[in-house]
């Protein structure tokens, strides 16, 4: 076993983790929206990264295979997650019908309303992360690839996947501020929230239909 093997497994984990994380989904859409608004970015990024770290570790330990062997739990989680996603999608659709705009670099709304509280933001991102059944399929996939690396390299693979998660959420959350100029117009928010609404409802419907 050489350092090349260690770095190869870590690099494979990084690439695999990014391939699974970098996609249009409920969690990423929420982080993007919060990043544009400048609301509680640090705790949200930390929660996302820590959640992914726990899930990736579970996958390396083989929890993913255990979950896929429990069909009843997966079905229950599917419908709970679907209900949450559809509800959030309808809320986004409502925002799209009454769009607002950013008036300062800190993300102040043009209607003078209060920002989303940190507890509500963290609770939402936790629900979007842990109530998504697809994340457990990702655990199983990561776990199977990690186990193929062997006992000496599987945690290097897991570390690479965790690093990919940290890099992605930091880029998404903190990089979103560069889009604030574009979202100074209500129409831009209408497009974003409209897209989020369609994505959430589609994901929720797909879960119900077993997609």
Share of the chain above pLDDT 90, in %: 18
Range from 44-48, 135-139, 182-186 that averages highest in pLDDT: 44-48
Which pLDDT score, from 0 to 100, does residue 80 have? 76
Q: What is the DSSP letter of 109?
A: B
Question: Can you tell me the mean pLDDT for 154-171?
Answer: 91
For 56-80, write each residue's pLDDT tens digit: 998 888 765 565 566 676 677 678 7
Which pLDDT score, from 0 to 100, does residue 50 have? 95
CA-to-CA distance for 23 and 43, rounded, in angstroms? 21
pLDDT for residue 113 is more than 60: no
CA-to-CA distance for 204 and 211, rounded, in angstroms? 10
Kindly provide the residue ranges of all beta strands, DSSP E only, lying in 24-143, ordered along the sequence: none
Which pLDDT score, from 0 to 100, does residue 204 have? 78
Which pLDDT score, from 0 to 100, does residue 24 have? 60
DSSP string, 127-160: HHHHT-HHHHHHHHHHHHHHHHT-TTTHHHHHHH
CA-to-CA distance for 144 and 152, rounded, in angstroms? 15
At 114, the pLDDT band (50, 70, 90 cuts) reads very low
Contact (Cβ atoms closer than 8 angstroms) between residue 84 and residue 131? yes
Range with lowest mean pLDDT among 26-35, 121-130, 156-165 = 26-35
pLDDT for residue 107 is more than 60: no
Range with lowest mean pLDDT among 39-43, 96-100, 178-182 = 96-100
């Amino acid at each position: 076993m050489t350092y090349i093997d260690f770095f190869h497994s870590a690099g494979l984990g990084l690439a695999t983790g990014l391939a699974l994380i970098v996609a249009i989904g409920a969690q990423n859409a929420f982080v993007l929206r919060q990043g544009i608004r400048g609301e509680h970015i640090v705790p949200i990024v930390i929660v996302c990264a820590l959640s992914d770290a726990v899930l990736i570790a579970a996958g390396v330990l083989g929890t993913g295979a255990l979950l896929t062997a429990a069909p009843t739990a997966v079905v229950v989680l599917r419908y709970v997650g679907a209900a949450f996603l559809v509800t959030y999608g309808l809320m986004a659709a409502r925002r799209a019908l009454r769009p607002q705009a950013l008036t300062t670099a800190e993300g102040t709304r043009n209607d003078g309303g209060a920002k989303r509280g940190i507890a509500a933001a963290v609770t939402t991102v936790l629900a979007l992360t842990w109530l998504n059944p697809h994340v457990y399929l990702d655990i199983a996939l990561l776990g199977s690839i990690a186990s193929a690396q062997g006992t000496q390299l599987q945690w290097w693979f897991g570390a690479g996947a965790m690093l990919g998660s940290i890099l992605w959420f930091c880029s998404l959350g903190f990089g979103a501020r560069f889009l604030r100029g574009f979202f100074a117009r209500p129409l831009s928010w209408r497009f974003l929230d409209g897209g989020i609404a369609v994505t959430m409802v589609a994901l929720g419907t797909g879960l119900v239909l077993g997609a």
